Amino acid sequence: MVQDTMGTGANNGRLEHTMDKKNTKLHLVSNNDEPEEDDFDEMNEYSEMELLEQLESLREDMEDLKVTTLAEVIERISELHRQLDK
């Protein structure tokens, strides 16, 4: 693989050109190691959406299993372990 870099001067970034036998890629790479504030907002929004989806899925599973508390989930797990150990 051959990699060429050249400074662009614009927005403190550089272009990287990567070549191997299968393909050639050219992309802008920022010299700034710190994410932009907008990037943090997008990451935070993404993680909040992912958390919401996980919690909604958990709620649906608990409803399907007819349990309403973590204590009930733990008790059901213990019961199933006892049954499987017999």
Are 20 and 53 within one domain?
no
Q: What residue type is assigned to position 75 of the chain? A: E
CA–CA dist 75, 61 (Å, integer): 16
pLDDT digits (tens, 9 = 90+) for 40-71: 777 788 799 999 999 999 999 999 999 999 99
The range of the structural domain enclosing residue 3 comes to: 1-33
Q: Could you give the number of structural domains in the chain?
A: 2
pLDDT digits (tens, 9 = 90+) for 19-39: 555 665 655 555 666 667 777
Are 6 and 43 within one domain?
no
Are 51 and 78 within one domain?
yes
**pTM for the structure as a whole:** 0.46
Q: Which of 39, 5, 40, 2 is nearest to 19 (CA)?
A: 2
Are 45 and 79 within one domain?
yes
